[in-house]
Structure 1
C-alpha cells in the first residue's frame, strides 16, 4: 500500500513506529499525528496507529472502528487497499470481546476485499489472519 513518505502525518506515524519499544513515546507521536491530521486519509492512518497503543481491547476496538470509518469515507485506491486489514482488526476486537457474530461479520467483510491484497508478504499475512479469524468464529455446528 503506497504512502507518501513526504506526508507529515505518515512521517509522525513512522517515527512512532520507530519508538514502539517505548510505548509512551510512540503514543505521543501517534496522538500528535491524530491531532494534526486534516484529511480522512491522514486521520485513518493516525487512528490505525493510535489503536495499536490502547490499554484495553474496548479502546483499541474504538480506534480501529474509527480508522475503518475514515478509510471508507476516503474512497481512494490507497484506502481501499487497507480495507482487508482494517476489517480484520475490527473483527479481532469483537472476537476478543467475545462478540463472535460481529467478529465473523467483519472477518467476512475483510475476506470480501482480500482480492485487493498483494500476493506476497503482507497480503499473505492478512489473508492468513482472515482465514484464521473465520475459522475461530465458525458456529460450532459448522466445525464438524
Structure 2
C-alpha cells in the first residue's frame, strides 16, 4: 500500500491557496479559501471543511477571527471519519488531527487572555498526544507542545 494522496480537486484548490498565502500573498489566499468555504457550505465534506478552516485560521488579521476559524476546524473534525480521511491519504487518522487543532485553540485563547480556556484546550492536547504518529508530523506537533508549555502560556495575559 502506498501513502500517496488520492487526487482531490478541492484539496488541490485548498493547498494551492495555502501556498499562495505562504508565498507572501495572504489576502488573495484568504479570499480564495473564503470563497471555497462558501461553496462547501456547512454540510460540505468534513475533510475539506476541517482542512480549509485550519489553514484559513492562519491567514486572519485578528486573533478573534483566527479563533473563529480554529473552532470551525474542530467542529468539522468531529464529523470526519478515518475512512473518509484515508480515501484522501491512507495514513491519515482523525485522532492525529486533534492535538494540533486543540493547540491552535489554546494559543488563540492564551493570546486573548482567556487563561481557563487555554488550559482546557492544552489539557485536551495532552489527552490526544498518544494518537500522533511516530513520524515528522507527530514530532513537529510534540515539539510545538513543548515550546508552548515552556512559554508558560497559562500565566500570560495577552
Aligned to 1:94: 109
Structure 1 residue 91, shift from structure 2 partner = 0.6
Q: Give the 3-state SS of the residue equivalent to 2:133 in structure 1.
A: coil
Give yes or no for contact 1:111–1:127 (8 Å, CA) kept in 2: no
Once the two structures are overlaid, the 10-residue window that deviates more, 8-17 or 34-43, is 34-43
- Find the partner of 2:29 among 26, 29, 41: 26
Q: Which residue of 1 aligns with 2:141?
A: 126
RMSD over aligned Cα atoms: 2.2
Q: 1:109 to 1:19 in 2, by over 3 A?
A: same
What is the TM-score with the length of structure 1 in the denominator?
0.84
Cα deviation per residue 1:3-32 (whole Å; 9 max; x = unaligned)?
A: 845222211111012211111221122113
2:14 maps to 13
CA contact (8 A) 2:98 2:128 kept: yes
**Does structure 1 retain, via aligned residues, the 8 Å contact 2:95–2:132?**
no
Could you tell me how far apart the structure 1 residues matched to 2:32 and 2:50 are?
Answer: 15
- Secondary structure of the corresponding residue to residue 19 of structure 1: helix
Which range is displaced more, 89-98 or 73-82? Answer: 73-82
Q: Work out the CA distance in 2 between the residues paired with 1:22 and 1:138.
A: 33
Residue 45 of structure 2 is aligned with which of 35, 39, 49? 39
Q: Check the 8 A contact 2:96/2:133 in 1, yes or no.
A: no
Alignment of 1:38-57 (within 5 A): 38-57=44-63
Q: Secondary structure at the match of 1:112?
A: helix
Q: Distance in 2 between matches of 1:40 and 1:120?
A: 24
* Partner in structure 1 of residue 80 of structure 2: 74
Indicate if the aligned counterparts of 1:104 and 1:133 stay in contact, CA closer than 8 A: no
Aligned residues: 139
Q: With structure 2 as the length reference, what TM-score do the two structures score? A: 0.77
Higher relative contact order (CA 8 A, sep 6+): 2
